[in-house]
Amino acid sequence: MTGRLAGAIALMLALASAPVAPAAAGDAARWTVEPGSRVGFIAQQSGAPVEGVFERFEAEIRFAPGDLAVSRVAVTIDVASVNSQSQDRDQTIRSASLFDVETWPSARFEAERFEAVRLEPGGDGEFRALGRLTLRDVTREVVLPFRLGFQDHPDEPGTLRARAVGELTVKRLDYGVGQGLWTDTSVVADEVVIVIDILAKRAGQ
């Protein structure tokens, strides 16, 4: 979720700072998420890391060159698409005790503010996305740091492709992800790292 958001942010930033981005004022540019993108998490179970991904997510990434103020990213994750390499665990993650996908099928990340932490020549750099993360029915403000890089699209010369990589640590119980017995953090830790690795290209190119 954050990943998508980060990706979107990254794209926006990239467009803003990249040598490309010649669009006229008010002409919003869209970025399209590409295969190979990943939105996942690393949880601690019994003191060992357990990784999972959300196989289905959608991201709306808009970037107006030179006008970050109108840029925004919205990522919607299909929580039921979780894959942690264990059907038993995935089923539990979907259940009412954790994400309750029957009631709240989506998780969402939205951000409208982006900050450059460190800029490098060519538009690469480190950024922060300031936004909101919604899990179940709880929405909280979060800051997603991410690293952004640009290159020519390997399959489509002339098209710009951006890659955004970031991590965001959240406390699952802040969002109610863990009801009843699952409020126990001795087996599954409260802190979960959301990891994103988003590839996106300029839409319409």
Partner 1 sequence: MRIRNDDKYYGLAAQGFHWLVAALVLTTIGIALYMTGLPLSPDKIKVYNLHKSIGVTILALAVLRLLWRLASPAPPLPADMAPWERRAARASHVALYGLLFAQPAIGVLHSNAASFPVLVFGVFALPAVIGPDAELKQVLEVVHRWLGRGFLGLICLHVAAALRHHFVLKDDIMRRMLPGRRA
Residues in contact with partner 1 by the rule CB under 8 A: 45-48, 50, 84-89, 91-92, 97, 181-182, 184, 186-188
Nearer to partner 1, 86 or 151 (CB): 86
Nearer to partner 1, 50 or 193 (CB): 50
Nearer to partner 1, 46 or 103 (CB): 46
Smallest distance from partner 1 to CB 86, Å? 4
Smallest distance from partner 1 to CB 95, Å? 9
Smallest distance from partner 1 to CB 97, Å? 8
* Residue 133 identity (one-letter amino acid): L
Nearer to partner 1, 95 or 106 (CB): 95
Smallest distance from partner 1 to CB 189, Å? 11
d(C-alpha 17, C-alpha 66), whole Å: 7
Measured between alpha carbons, how far is residue 105 from residues 30, 112, 114, 150, 174 in Å?
Answer: 26, 23, 27, 33, 18
d(C-alpha 6, C-alpha 63), whole Å: 13
d(C-alpha 2, C-alpha 199), whole Å: 14
